[in-house]
């Protein structure tokens, strides 16, 4: 299930990179109250990235739940009053940061049905195919590769020591840094040139911040075992939201 949730988050990030998403604002007293009409109740009302306000919720409690600053959630949803939320209101709880300068191409999967996500077969690409060939990729960490890319597993696993550096594999912008996706622990998603994303999961410590520009080889986290039984890095590369085999782009070692 958490694989589908990560796919939804990646889909949202790619869409955000193509165009800014705006949300309405609400006026209310502290604590969520009932409302017969809610302009923020969109079709996207579940899954990572959005949260439907429940009875007794406050913006602060929602921020704690998703490990986000409640003031940032207020900014992402353009709330004039941080106490002004209503039961049933849909709030964005991940960044709305747009990266229009990185790519002007419309995502080829924009018509995908978000409400009923399905995993597409992983893309099989040659090293010279796609945006990934334009980047000089770097292995994200030292260690032993314990799991390879396959139809069932969309990324690779690298075992190592707790606290060892996790590096940005290429230059880009941090689009997500947090622990809001179950099964991935402390997670970082970096957007690179064109439609490429890299995913780093199970970190012990996150050192990069959302919206931060990072360079190739920059330390962005420390290896750990958050939401995992063993110390490891789970790593993915995605193009247009679909996973590709990192072995295609990584240098041999």
The domain locations on the chain are 22-92, 131-248
Q: Is the pLDDT of residue 149 over 50?
A: yes
The domain 22-92 having CATH identifier 3.10.350.10: the answer here is: yes
Q: Which two tokens stand for residue 246?
A: 């990192």
The pLDDT confidence band at residue 162, using thresholds 50, 70 and 90, is: very high
What CATH number matches the domain at 131-248, 3.40.720.10, 3.30.70.1050, 3.40.640.10, 2.70.70.10?
2.70.70.10
The predicted model gives 138-142 an average pLDDT of: 95
Question: N- to C-terminal Cα distance for the chain?
Answer: 33
The predicted model gives 41-57 an average pLDDT of: 64
The pLDDT confidence band at residue 32, using thresholds 50, 70 and 90, is: low
Q: Is the pLDDT of residue 180 over 60?
A: yes
User: pTM surpassing 0.85?
Assistant: no
Higher pLDDT: 109 or 241? It is 241
């Amino acid at each position: 299930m958490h694989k589908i949730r990560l796919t939804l988050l990646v889909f949202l990030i790619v869409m955000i990179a193509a165009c800014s998403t705006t949300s309405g604002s609400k006026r209310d007293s502290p604590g969520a109250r009932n409302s017969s009409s809610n302009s923020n109740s969109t079709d996207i009302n579940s899954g990572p990235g959005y949260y439907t306000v429940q009875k007794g919720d406050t913006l602060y409690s929602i921020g704690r739940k998703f490990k986000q600053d409640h003031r940032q959630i207020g900014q992402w949803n353009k709330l004039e009053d941080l106490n002004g939320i209503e039961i049933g209101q849909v709030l964005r709880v991940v960044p709305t940061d747009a990266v229009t300068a990185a790519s002007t191409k419309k995502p080829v999967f924009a018509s995908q049905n978000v409400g009923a996500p399905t995993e597409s077969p992983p893309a099989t690409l040659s090293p010279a195919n796609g945006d990934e060939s334009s980047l000089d990729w770097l292995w994200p960490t030292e260690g032993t590769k314990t799991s390879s890319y396959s139809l069932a597993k969309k990324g690779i696993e690298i075992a190592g020591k707790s606290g060892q550096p996790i590096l940005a594999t290429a230059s880009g912008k941090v689009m997500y840094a947090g622990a809001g996706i179950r099964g991935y622990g402390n997670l970082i998603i970096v957007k690179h040139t064109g439609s490429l994303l890299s995913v780093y999961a199970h970190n012990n410590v996150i050192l990069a911040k959302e919206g931060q520009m990072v360079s190739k080889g920059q330390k962005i986290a420390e290896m750990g075992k958050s939401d995992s039984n063993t110390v490891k890095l789970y790593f993915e590369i995605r193009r247009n939201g679909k996973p590709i085999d990192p072995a295609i782009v990584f240098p041999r070692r």
